Chain A
Amino acid sequence: MIYAENIFLCIVVPLAVSLLFVRGGAKRFVLSFLIGMGICLVGAYISGFLSLAVDMTTEEVSVFLSPIVEEIAKLLPLLFYLHVFRPEDDAVFLCAIAIGVGFATFENCCYILTAGAESLPYTLVRGLAVGVMHVVSMLVLAFGLVLIRRFRVVSLAGIVGALSLSMTFHALYNLLVSQPGLSSVIGYVLPLATAGVLYLPFRRLMLPSV
């Protein structure tokens, strides 16, 4: 048993104070990072509630429901930012990545406090797999939102399309790592490989605005 709220407060307070002294992109990054951590906490509450409500085991929830809950929760602040502030593409990617990193950081903190940090391979896997997975899923989401905005057709269909892509990617990762063996190895490699694949379109998309 860990006290996730206490850990959350412990990490949030210095970052929140730092917001008073940073500006521009750094401020956006820190704020989005904090939002990502908050989403992780809220997502855990909702998934916990759902596991009781629909009578599923923790593993079933992580394979079937958590990706849906977490990706929707991560989409909402990004959508709010996009519609209310109408930021540049760079800023959308910055916020999306920061939300993903914040989410992954808080999740990793809680897992490592639960399971212990004695094993270096385990901590590396957590960082390289889960950590990168949340960043990649947010990148996919940001790609979708930026792309449909560029074509000036911000529609529900486009948003759901982007969301479903990131959600299924997340669910696929959770499914692959849910069992030991070859599948989990593939699962651990998947986020890094996808990040590598996404690097090319990211450069292609961002170059015209540089």
Chain B
Amino acid sequence: MNQPYPVIRYGILLGAFIVLALLSVRLFRRLRWTGPSPVLAFLLFGVATFLVSELYWGAYNLMIRDSAPAFAAMEIAEAGGFLCYASSLRAALGYEIGRDLRALAVTVGFMACNTALWIAWTGSWVKDVLTGAAMCYLVYTCLRGAIRYRVFSRPVWLAFLAGILVIFVLQTAALVIGGGTGSLLDNLCAPVWLAGILYFLVRSLRPREEDTGRDSAMVLSWMGFTWCTLAMYLSYEPFYFLPCALSYGMIVLMVRSAEQEVAVE
């Protein structure tokens, strides 16, 4: 089966491989093997896991590619990577912060809706539930961080809430209606998630004075990565490629903010 957009597909794959390999080497060189903070250690695990996962995915595409892969180690690698990223941010936030049941309830509801839509699209129960559970921890940790450091103002929270609701409504409608109209509704989500990505990119690249070198910079880049990943999962090609490529850019920003955080420590 010929895959469409081969240049973009393999270009992103190659770029991701180079970025992740360089980041792995960089993190390894900066890692302190003992100490109070496992921020970089967990981040290194996450990046290395994504690197091996990319290699597997690339090899699979080049060698087999005639069918979608069955449930494979790659799915576990991806889920493991999310858990490592979440653990890295959790370590930066500090283990003394307790649970926030309201944030937990919001996260579980949000991820349950996402997972239900993934299952409805793909039919892969095991794969989607596993990814959803791992992402749940990542989203919850990001949310805790965002609440703790007051990363967003009230209007921004409301804008995000509205955006998420619009995406859920459009996606569900696209799924129910199907056909050309469904495809149109699906594509209408793109501006919404793109606006979110741009917001995170701008805030991460041009941090406010109070964000620099602090945990809030980490929270922003982590949230940006999570947003890109969720946008990637709800998009079809060719829209899929944009959040996919930007998620690797976000990993670079994650590493940068984590290094600043460790330097401050």
Contact = CB atoms under 8 A, between A and B. Distances in A.
Interface of A: 54, 56, 60, 63-64, 67-68, 71, 144, 147-148, 150-151, 153, 155-158, 160-165, 167-172, 175-176, 178-179, 183, 201, 204-205, 208
A175 B91 CA distance: 35
A17 to B, nearest CB: 37
Contacts of A205: 33
B77 interface: yes
B38 A151 contact: yes
Contact of B74 (A161, A162, A168, A176): A168
Contact of B80 (A64, A67, A151, A160): A160
Contacts of A171: 56, 72-74
B72 A164 contact: no
A169 B72 CA distance: 12
Does more than half of chain B's interface fall in helix, strand or loop, or is it mixed? Answer: helix
Contact of B33 (A63, A164, A176, A208): A208
B49 interface: yes
Given A148-B41, A175-B56, A164 B73 contact: yes
B73 A153 contact: no
B184 interface: no
B81 interface: yes
A164 B52 CA distance: 9
Contacts of B70: 54, 56, 60, 64
Interface stretch (B82-90, B113-121, B244-252): B82-90
B71 interface: yes
Nearest to A163: B80
A164 B80 CA distance: 6
A66 to B, nearest CB: 9
Contact of A153 (B53, B71, B91, B137): B91
A155 B55 CA distance: 26
Interface string B137-172: 100000000000000000000000000000000000
Nearest to B134: A160
A71 B41 CA distance: 21
Contacts of B73: 64, 67-68, 71, 164, 167-168, 170-172
Given A68-B73, A172-B59, A201-B28, A164 B34 contact: no
Interface string B49-84: 100110110011011000001111110110111011
Contact of B71 (A64, A157, A204): A64
A146 to B, nearest CB: 9
B35 A151 contact: yes
B35 A161 contact: no
B48 interface: yes
Interface residues of B, number: 39
| Highest count of chain B CB atoms <10 Å: which of A54, A144, A157, A183 | A157
Given A147-B33, A172-B55, A165 B42 contact: no
Contacts of B95: 153
B72 A144 contact: no
Nearest to B91: A153
A208 B95 CA distance: 27
Contact of A157 (B35, B53, B83): B83
B137 A157 contact: yes
Nearest to A206: B33
